[in-house]
Amino acid sequence: MESYKKLLLANKAWVADKLDVRPDYFERMADDQSPEFLWIGCSDSRVPAEDVTGTEPGELFVHRNIANQVIHTDFNILSVLQYAVDVLKVKHIIVCGHYGCGGVKNALTHKHLGLINKWLRNIKDVYRIHQRELDGIADQATRFHRLVELNVQEQVWKLAETSFVQHAWQKENRPYLHGWVYDLHTGYLKDLLMLTPGTPLNDIYKFEFED
Ligand code: CO
């Protein structure tokens, strides 16, 4: 059997399973969505957002890109973020990186891979910001681990620096911003940091709103 056909067959079995438990499962699901969480994760096939968090369809609004980055000129993530914050009114935004991330690893090298290097350039900036700490780590694997964590941390701060998040913090005291790392070897998520609404930001990035 061709590999893609396996997916379509598995879909049929999945539908049957769901209907077994609740005959109206899909009808209820199709009505609307009101997820409480926005998940920003890596595109890596080994970090499926719903599986690792034990969540069901309808619970996570998801954006994934290479190395779970929040880029201020990327209309894709900005649109996802605005919709999640302004329309869905999510309570929590989770940036989830993972140890062993190929995108982060590439940023530690000088290898040229074409367009992807433009995207990963942002992680080189994270390296530069934390260069003193990272260059002080002699063991290569440990340094790689640490850059994965620092990348998550930086992306969480970048979220806080967006006008969408700052506006929602001021007006509605949400969302909470979380930075997590997934360990491919154990399956566990590590909770790195949380920014609560109103966390002081570097003044350079603050916006003043008229409404
Ligand atoms: Co990755």
Q: Domain containing 127 — which CATH number?
A: 3.40.1050.10
Q: Which residues are close to ligand 1, an ion, with C-beta < 5 A? A: 42, 44, 101
User: Quick check: is 147 in a domain?
Assistant: yes
| Overall residue count recorded for the chain in this entry | 211
The pairing of strands 176-182 and 37-42 is unpaired
Q: Has residue 106 been placed in a domain?
A: yes
What tokens does 126 get? 């994270």
Is 51 inside a domain boundary? no
42 catalytic per annotation: yes
- SS3 call for 165: helix
Examine the residue annotation and report whether 44 is marked as an active-site residue of this protein: yes
For residue 76, tell me if it sits in a domain.
Answer: yes
Residue-level pLDDT at 109: 93
What pLDDT score was predicted for residue 155?
A: 98
CA–CA gap between residue 11 and residue 28 (Å, rounded): 18
Q: What pLDDT score was predicted for residue 142?
A: 97
- The per-residue pLDDT for 211 is 79
Q: What is d(CA 23, CA 39) in angstroms, rounded to the nearest whole number?
A: 29
* Number of structural domains the chain divides into: 1
Q: Sign of torsion, CA 73 75 77 80?
A: positive
What local confidence, expressed as pLDDT, does residue 198 receive? 96
Given a contact cutoff of 8 angstroms between Cβ atoms, the answer to whether 181 and 101 are in contact is no
Q: Provide the whole-model pTM.
A: 0.95
**Model pLDDT, residue 120:** 95
C-alpha distance across the termini of the chain, in Å: 59
pLDDT for 106:
94
**Range(s) of the domain holding residue 136:** 36-46+58-198
> CA-CA distance, 164 to 21, in Å (whole number)?
39
Residue ranges of the chain with per-residue pLDDT less than 70: none
Active-site residue identified among 17, 22, 28, 46: 46
96 tagged catalytic: no
CA of 161 relative to ligand 1 center, distance in Å: 23
Span from the CA of 67 to the centroid of ligand 1 (angstroms): 5
Catalytic site residue 128?
no
* pLDDT given at position 1: 80
Those residues whose C-beta lies under 8 Å from the C-beta of residue 193, and which sit 6 or more positions away, are 152, 153, 156, 178, 179
